[in-house]
Structure 1
Amino acid sequence: MKRMVFLALSLLLFLTGCNWNPNHEYHAQREDIDGTNLMESGTRKNSFYEEDLQDEDYNTNQNPNFIDLTEDRPDIGDDQDKFREVIELKSEFKPGAVFINGANAYVTVHTDKSYSNKDRKKEEKKLYETLQKAMPRYHIRVTIHDND
């Protein structure tokens, strides 16, 4: 019997001790929706998101591992234009289709001249070396087509 009374009292003491509050109120942490009060500093009136994102000097391109989000960011079309620009520097060639698939670039070049297979391979090699200097990050495959 003494054990049962002792067990009941210790259980009652344990349960009331966990929920004891002298004011009978719950004091939650001061925080707005989404925790914006926690982001405020001592003297600033606005939080980081309201003030700093509106600032002209805010730059999202600080980490090179993140995607560039500016409007003038380079893309595959710029690389294709660069291939075409290099081909146009050679007066006898006209750029054709340029396809980029991952690290591979497939460049088609048109010419008005007629080449033998040996001469065509030689011209493709010269053009390949020129394009490789301009865009070294790609594995380039050059094909010359006659307009005959």
Structure 2
Amino acid sequence: MKRFGVFILLLAFLAGCTNFNRGVEEFSGTNEDNDNISNVSNRLDREDTQEWTMDSQNPNFLPLDRRDNVSDQSDINKARQVIEETGTYRAGQVWINGDDMWVTAYKKGMMTESEKVDASSKLRKQLLKALPRYHIEVKVQEDRT
């Protein structure tokens, strides 16, 4: 009886795994039969497929193509322009990461810590007027060159 049960399970498994080529004939033909009845096609046209990238599949994955890289560079140039237009500061490094912008500016001469804080807050206000969409952190340092 035990062998008969194993034989039945094996037979059911093999019957389920066979492909009688019914699916290929049914679904790979034309979209309409002779009676003008539409049927389902499992073939995909090139126009219907979508190119999937890793960042579109996973929302937590950072995009690698950086489509807005041009606007980032123009925002960096605008920040540098605002710093240079003040006449008292020289633009240093400007970094953008998402909505955050880090700016380093240099000023000639020696400054106390309170003067650095005041200068960075004034420069930050000017940068926020020019680039309001960023959270801007400004660091003013002494220019010793």
TM interval, shorter chain, is 0.5 to 0.7
How far apart are residue 92 of structure 1 and its match?
1.5
Q: Does the residue aligned with 1:115 lie in a helix, a strand or coil? A: coil
Moved over 6 A (4+): none
* 2:92 maps to 1:96: yes
Q: Which has the larger radius of gyration?
A: 1
Question: Which ranges of structure 2 fall in alignment gaps of 5 or more residues?
Answer: 1-32, 39-43, 48-68
The aligned residue for residue 51 of structure 1 is: none
* 2:73 maps to 1:77: yes
Q: Does the residue aligned with 2:109 lie in a helix, a strand or coil? A: coil
In 2, Cα distance between equivalents of 1:92 and 1:113: 10
The aligned residue for residue 115 of structure 2 is: 119
Q: Deviations over 1:58-113 (max 9, x none)?
A: xxxxxxxxxxxxxxx95211111110010010111110100011111000001222
How far apart are residue 26 of structure 1 and its match?
4.9
How far apart are residue 28 of structure 1 and its match?
6.8
- The residue type paired with residue 134 of structure 1 is A
The aligned residue for residue 143 of structure 2 is: 147
The aligned residue for residue 103 of structure 2 is: 107
Q: Does the residue aligned with 1:145 lie in a helix, a strand or coil? A: strand
* CA spacing shift, 1:124–1:25, aligned 2, 3 Å: closer
Q: Does the residue aligned with 2:139 lie in a helix, a strand or coil? A: strand
Q: Does the residue aligned with 2:106 lie in a helix, a strand or coil? A: strand
How far apart are residue 118 of structure 1 and its match?
1.0
Give TM-score scaled by structure 1 length.
0.51
The aligned residue for residue 82 of structure 2 is: 86
Percent sequence identity over aligned pairs: 29
- Number of residue-to-residue matches in the alignment: 88
In 2, Cα distance between equivalents of 1:113 and 1:79: 28
Q: Deviations over 1:112-131 (max 9, x none)?
A: 22111111111111101100
